[in-house]
Amino acid sequence: MSELQISKENGPAVILALIRAAPEDEAPLMILDLMEDWRDELIPLFQSETDRALELSRNGELQENGDWKVPGFGLAFLSEWKAPGTHQRLLEVHKMNDADRDWLIADSLTEDWPQLLAATFEGDLQPITQVVLDQSLDEFARAMPVEAVAALTYHGTLPQEKAESWFASLFEQMEREPCYVWDKLVSVVADLRMTTLLPKISQAFKGHLCDEDYGWSLADLKNVMAGRNPWE
């Protein structure tokens, strides 16, 4: 790294330049060892770059004038560092149009996003609720926060009683139209063994809100909640 002439004054700028110059199909692994050394300086820069990407997307200019590498890479580190405000920024990415979101984070929405949302959770479920209930958003983007809340519950970060109340409220507030959010909702509630919500799951299936061809049947979910293998 000595040939890069990184100093106290230019370190963050050099790191951002390396991220921007990295090949599109490769992570800039050469800078990973430097990240912790410049953590305090990089956090506001990554936050600013992410906010700029969000603003460009809202104005329909992201792919023309934006850069996916710094905010995309930066969001991962902001999440790892649990920087304040990261949870809300991740949710704002959920609200991007499909093309911009895919351009910015690629497959991370399904592969990493629930874990990132859970890791950066700051205690307020309302912003998550707003995303889940926003019918203007992609149904898969809406479902990822549901999985994040399930992870928070499973690991004990969110009290079981509070989580159960939140999931119950979704059953009441969700649109009465089939979508992937319903499939995810009944699945995680079954995985968490929230047996008090079984009547609501049954109602969802009776209302044809869940896709049995895509996910599990009601009988499968009952077996899961009872601790039995649904394939036996």
Output the six-digit token pair for 113: 């996003």
Average pLDDT of 211-229? Answer: 80
Instruction: Of 33-42, 43-52, 127-136, give the lowest mean pLDDT range.
Output: 33-42
pLDDT of residue 17: 86
Tell me the per-residue pLDDT of 67-110, one tens digit each, with 9 for 90 and over: 888 998 899 899 999 999 999 999 999 889 889 988 888 766 56
Residue ranges covered by each domain of the chain: 1-122, 123-232
pLDDT of residue 1: 44
Please say whether the beta carbons of 145 and 121 come within 8 A: no
Tell me the C-alpha distance between 66 and 20, whole Å. 11
Output the six-digit token pair for 154: 């499973």
* CA atoms lying within 13 Å on the CB side of residue 55: 6
Tell me the C-alpha distance between 107 and 103, whole Å. 9
Helices (H), the chain: 11-21, 32-35, 39-58, 62-65, 69-80, 86-94, 98-105, 108-111, 113-119, 126-133, 139-154, 160-173, 180-191, 198-206, 218-225
Q: Say yes or no to pLDDT of 231 above 50.
A: no
Tell me the per-residue pLDDT of 168-180, one tens digit each, with 9 for 90 and over: 999 999 999 999 9
Q: Which residue has the tokens 């079981």?
A: 160
pTM of structure? 0.85
Using DSSP's 3-state secondary structure scheme, residue 48 falls into helix
pLDDT of residue 2: 42
Range 177-208 burial, b when 16+ CB lie within 10 A, else e: ebbbbbbbbbbbbbebebeebbebbeebbeee
Tell me the C-alpha distance between 43 and 56, whole Å. 20
Among 3-7, 12-16, 203-207, 208-212, the range with the most confident prediction by mean pLDDT is: 203-207
